[in-house]
Amino acid sequence: MLVMRVALAGAFFLALTNATSAADSVETSTDNQPITGAGAHFSWVIFNDLKPSLEHKSGRSIHLYGRESMLGMGCNAGIKTAKLNRHDHETFGFVCCDLAREEQRKEDIVLYPIANEPILILVHRTNPVTSLSVTQLRAMFRGEITNWKQVGGTDRPVVVVTRLHCKNRPGHWKTILPDAKQFRQDRLNVKSAAEMVKTVSDFPGGLGHTGSTWIFDHQSQVKAIRVGGVAPTAANLKSGKYPFYRQLGAVTSKTASTTVKSIIEQVQTGPEFRKIARKYELVPLN
């Protein structure tokens, strides 16, 4: 499966690069060309939900890639896609974490923060535990608490599942523990949010994490618990009561057109986005 994802990712970027090269060599009207956005799933969700409105207001066709981090998509892919931008083949990217100014300068890109997203703490649906304190959770992720009976649950081993992506970037899972080395060594590492949900579903003692924009299907056997009795809502995140979150955003090259920038700005500040923010418990940053 991983080999297939890598191959598909390579094929996607080869196609995107070839399309960019072709656009450079053929004289076409920019207004007739689709705009491509790709990258991290959780930011993709926002743009995908708003796609009809964005296309209507911009008058352009918009192609979006990133569902369930397909084709190897993620923050790095979002940055790579943004840098492929050309006059006749316009692109932008999705990221699910903050980017330091040094990285933005190095990659020659512009970051557009959109919203803070609560990070949900996931357990198996059959787990009787409904809330854990920050201290308990961090001890479990570190491996200091290894059985659910130590926190009021049934006598069952804790199976820690992590997705420690973007290790050199601030925020996201680092609000749980600041360094990958602090997580227990015998954890299960996954490559995508879909794999996270499936893995926690597979283990009655599972403990994992994902973003609030994730849509759980009927096959998932997980639930999100409270942290210190506090639900992962936008109101609780905004007030500082809920501790775990990450920043969702978009990136462009510094040569992005007014149209591309206006599409992103519409997401940042438009009234339609406020409805999406309420749907996914997001805290708008603009």
Provide the 10 A C-beta neighbour count for residue 99: 24
The domains located in the chain, with CATH, are 2-116+247-284 (3.40.190.10), 117-245 (3.40.190.10)
User: For residue 263, what pLDDT is reported?
Assistant: 98
What pLDDT does residue 69 have? 57
Q: Identify the bridge partners of residue 124 per DSSP, sorted by sequence position.
A: 222
Alpha-carbon distance 112 to 279, whole Å?
21
Q: Specify the pLDDT at position 265.
A: 98
pTM, two decimals, is: 0.87
Residue spans of alpha helices (H) in 143-223 = 193-202
Other residues' Cβ atoms within 10 Å of the Cβ of residue 239: 11
The pLDDT of residue 266 is: 97
Residue 184 tokens, joined: 């227990």
What is the Cα–Cα distance from 207 to 26, expressed in whole angstroms?
52
Beta strand extents in 228-266 (DSSP E only): 245-253
Residues (pLDDT < 50) of the chain are 1-11, 13-14, 18-29, 71
Evaluated on CA atoms 41, 94, 175, 115, the torsion sign reads negative
